[in-house]
Amino acid sequence: MKRIVLLCCCLLGLFACKSSFEKLLESGDRDEKYETAMDLFLAGKYLRAAQLFESLTLSVAGTPREDTVLYYWGLSNYRAKDYATAETNFEKFVESFPLSPFAESAAFMRLDCLSRSTYRYELDQTPTYRTITAISEYIIAHPDTRHMAECQAMLKELNDRLDKKAYENARLYYKMEDYKAARVAMKNILKDGADNIYREEILYYAAMSSYKYAQMSVREKQKERFLVFVDDYFNFVSEYPESSRRKELDALYAKVKK
């Protein structure tokens, strides 16, 4: 019986707290809402803080508190890991308050949200391109930003992801034994971005593709196509003479010379 009574008291307390919060949420007391929202934010209760900040947006419009409320609304959503909503908050903030003390921070937080909302390399990379553009624009607008190292780290991660997607897409042709298409795809990667982080692997698979394509060709065309492999072989060994893959290519080259 004591446990039941205690449980009932706890439930009543919870309902009372919920009722109190909802009552405040619906009230028109801007000061109490603002102070409670800040207290909730500092206490790490970001979802409730976001609700209160959102409810304040119309009533503080045109007042000195407007930019603070909008900034902390976005920050609350960010801390609650609702990055899509936070990104919208920060984008709107930067457009509305470009001269606010929070403007640069909001602009960077938007980049962080965009970066967190991108997809792994196998999926659509449209958000990745959008984020890279946004980061580049931010760096141009804020060349002395204290977030430069973080921006450069984000750019590297995003560009590395695009490199991986391009490399894996080309390697898929190789796995499917479409060696002519595989070599073309590998070469096209380096045309689009010579500094691809998978450059060694790309040159290796280009050479392997040209060798296997020549090997599978009719006899009349083999010599011409093996000469393409020879070009690819020398491209590889000139750039990566110490590569662990060289022994395999050396053996193929020796075989082709005969």
| Digit-coded pLDDT (tens) for 93-132 | 999 999 999 999 999 999 999 999 999 999 999 999 999 9
What is the predicted pLDDT for the residue at 12?
Answer: 53
- Region 156-174 average pLDDT: 97
The answer for residues whose C-beta is within 8 angstroms of residue 65's C-beta and 6 or more apart is 34, 56
Tokens of 244: 């662990």
Asked whether the predicted pLDDT for residue 73 surpasses 50, the reply is yes
The answer for residues whose C-beta is within 8 angstroms of residue 108's C-beta and 6 or more apart is 138, 145, 147, 150, 151
What is the predicted pLDDT for the residue at 104?
Answer: 95
Q: What band does 58 get if pLDDT is binned at 50, 70 and 90? A: very high
What is the predicted pLDDT for the residue at 28?
Answer: 79
Q: Strand ranges (DSSP E) for 44-96?
A: none
Rounded to two decimals, the pTM is: 0.83
As a whole number of Å, the end-to-end CA separation of the chain is 95
